[in-house]
Amino acid sequence: MKRWWVPGLIIGYEHSFVHQAADFLKSLELGEACHPTFKDALETQKVCAAVIESAATRSWKDTNVGGKIS
């Protein structure tokens, strides 16, 4: 939000793309990975799959989030 308005003001859907471009360019400048990465997406998918399976079986499921990617 530091690229936009003061806290409390709303940004729109289109502004998220400006932030995405700014974050990407900043990652190039710093030589760091831009987030979200594929690993971030994979871990999110693990949680989503565990939620669906947990609801279907009415039991707790292990997400293995933060664990080794296989």
Q: Over the stretch 23-62, which tens digit does the pLDDT of each residue have?
A: 899 999 999 999 888 999 999 999 999 999 999 999 998 8
Look up the pTM and report it: 0.58
pLDDT of residue 70: 44
Report how many domains make up the chain. 2
* Cβ neighbours around 58 below 10 Å, total: 6
Same domain for 26 and 53, yes or no, is no
Instruction: Report which DSSP code applies to 33.
Output: P
pLDDT of residue 55: 94
Question: Is the pLDDT confidence value at 5 over 70?
Answer: no
pLDDT of residue 53: 93
Same domain for 26 and 43, yes or no, is no
User: What distance in Å separates the CA atoms of residue 44 and residue 52, rounded to the nearest whole number?
Assistant: 13
Structure-model confidence comparison of residues 21 and 63, the more confident one: 21
Note down the domain range covering 4.
1-32
